[in-house]
Amino acid sequence: MESKLIDHLFRHHSGKMVSVLTRIFGLSHLEIIEDAIQDTFIKASITWRNQIPDNPKAWLTQAAKNRVLDIFRKLKTEKRHLPNFNLEKNTLAIDDFFLDTEIEDAQLRMIFTACHPSLDSRDQISFALKTVSGFSIKEIASALLTKEYTIKKRLSRARKTISKSHLQFQIPQGNELPIRLNRVMEVLYLIFNEGFHSNKKEKLIRKDLCGEAMRLCKLLLKNERTQTSESYALFALMCFHSARLETKTNAENEILDLKNQDRSQWYKPLIVLGNTIMHKAVNVTSFSCYHYEAAIAAEHLRAASFEDTNWEKILYWYQCLYKLQPMSIHLLNMAVVCLQKEDLSSAKNYLDKLNPQDFEQRIYLYYGTKADYYNAIDNKKNALFNIDLALETVNNSLEKEYLLKKKTAFQKNL
């Protein structure tokens, strides 16, 4: 019982503690800080065997505060390591650093640190998941389909870059803020997307990644400087997608596409929240890619049934999105929409513009869509050829089962 509780608390609170201690002692002591937090949770795992405290969070917070003082006494022996608490305009007492608002501020600073342009883009997500979100190296490797050794290298490289570049633990200001905020949102989007449509072999959805991306995005919305129309749109998009999470698979763990999902089971409070947030997001003259993606997701949620879907509107939003962000996946989605509209010539035009290699790990989506196109024009031979290519390139076992069922349906209509 206590081990599960400690694992839960470590996931949800270690990142907060690391951020607060980093704010106090500085990024140069990040490794010492992470070790101190690890020690705190090890101490909890031993102390709580006999009795779990009435308020575990308060116990951990107090233990972390004590570790702050331990670290301070240790570093005080070397004047050059002594943190300068007067750097802040208004010096805060140790206890004040652990107030909810100060924890949020510290975590926001850590997010911007994790997404700093000095860090390699591959290292940013790993570092954010480890330092801000409390994911273990094993969990990060699993989420990103990477070896643990590679994640360790990325984390080490990120820490060295932070130390060598003398990065400041702060929220950027002035002209630098919008540029840096864009990268933060990109990282949060990627984390959410990996959760919503996981590349992991046995799992289609990683709710922990979706939830963490939403939690971090909410931090952006709580700060006036990072509370932009784009961050509102990104959070609305996450709400809309999360409302459908429980219906993406059935009780047998089989994939359900939009056509077969039980719309009555879509989580209404998240849809309402997404709509409320979206109203704040559209109070601008120009829209971001997050605005258009949220508009597409909202259109699907608005339809009472799959047959009621406004495909014309969705195609328009995809066209707007492609104009802003000319990516192959948007052209592919336009082809999918045209197939739903039974506009087969337009679907072919979009497919002809695509290079399958552009899709990398998602190449099976390209072949699956081509299979649907050939099936729609009654070319069963090419439909089966492309569905076989999709089956050869898909990694996720649930998606493989979904494609196998589609192949069986094609064969029945031969």
Q: Report pLDDT digits (tens) over 356-390.
A: 988 888 899 999 999 999 999 999 999 999 999 99
Task: Tell the burial category of 285 from Cβ atoms under 10 Å away from its Cβ (0-12, 13-18, 19+).
Answer: exposed
SS3 of 393-414: HCCCHHHHHHHHHHHHHHHHCC
Give the model's confidence band at 349: pLDDT under 50 very low, under 70 low, under 90 confident, else very high. very high
What integer pLDDT is reported at residue 81 of this predicted model? 52
Q: Report pLDDT digits (tens) over 31-64.
A: 888 888 888 888 888 888 878 888 888 888 788 7
Angle separating helix axes 30-47 and 148-165, nearest 10 degrees: 130
Average pLDDT of the residues of the chain = 88
Q: Report pLDDT digits (tens) over 64-77.
A: 778 777 777 776 66
Output the pTM of the full model. Answer: 0.88
* pLDDT value at 29 more than 70: yes
Residue 6, Cα to own-chain centre: how many angstroms? 24
Encoding tokens for residue 129? 């998941």
Residue 404, Cα to own-chain centre: how many angstroms? 29
Q: Which of 80-84, 126-130, 167-171, 199-203 has the lowest mean pLDDT?
A: 80-84
* pLDDT value at 198 more than 90: no
Q: Which of 192-201, 287-296, 393-402 has the lowest mean pLDDT?
A: 192-201
More confident position, 278 or 24: 278
What integer pLDDT is reported at residue 3 of this predicted model? 65
Smallest Cα–Cα separation from 209: which of 228, 187, 240?
A: 187
**DSSP code per residue over 129-180:** IIIIT---HHHHHHHTT--HHHHHHHHHHHHHHHHHHT---S---TTHHHHH
Give the model's confidence band at 229: pLDDT under 50 very low, under 70 low, under 90 confident, else very high. very high
* pLDDT value at 78 more than 80: no
**Residues, the chain, total?**
414
Q: Which of 11-20, 147-156, 264-273 has the lowest mean pLDDT?
A: 11-20
Q: In which region does residue 168 sit, left (phi positive, over 0), alpha (psi from -120 to 50) or beta (all else)?
A: beta
Q: What gap in Å lies between CA 256 and CA 180, rounded to an integer? A: 37
**DSSP code per residue over 76-104:** HTSGGG---GGGSSSPPPTGGGGSHHHHH
Residue 177's contacts (CB-CB under 8 Å, 6 or more residues apart) are 171, 225, 226
Q: What gap in Å lies between CA 400 and CA 255, rounded to an integer? A: 10
Q: Report pLDDT digits (tens) over 112-152.
A: 999 999 999 889 999 999 998 888 888 888 777 788 999 99
Smallest Cα–Cα separation from 188: which of 124, 248, 250, 244?
A: 124
What integer pLDDT is reported at residue 83 of this predicted model? 52
The C-alpha angle 273, 278, 282, rounded to 5 degrees, equals: 165
Hunting for tokens 């019982």 — which residue is that? 1
Other beta carbons within 10 angstroms of residue 63's beta carbon come to: 19
* pLDDT value at 324 more than 70: yes
Mean pLDDT throughout 230-245?
97
H/E stretch holding 333: helix 328-340
Amino acid symbol at 90: N
Q: What gap in Å lies between CA 288 and CA 278, rounded to an integer? A: 12
Q: Report pLDDT digits (tens) over 245-268.
A: 999 988 887 888 899 999 999 999
What integer pLDDT is reported at residue 88 of this predicted model? 45
Q: What is the DSSP letter of 283?
A: S
Half-sphere exposure of residue 110, counting CA atoms within 13 Å on the CB side?
A: 31
Q: Across 238-324, where does the E strand assignment appear?
A: none
* pLDDT value at 196 more than 90: no
**Proportion of the chain above pLDDT 90, given as a percent:** 57
Angstrom distances, CA of residue 269 to CA of 14, 221, 264, 275, 295: 29, 19, 13, 10, 18
Mean pLDDT throughout 222-233?
96
Q: Report pLDDT digits (tens) over 84-111.
A: 544 443 445 677 888 888 889 999 999 9
Q: Which of 3-17, 48-62, 337-351 holds the top average pLDDT? A: 337-351
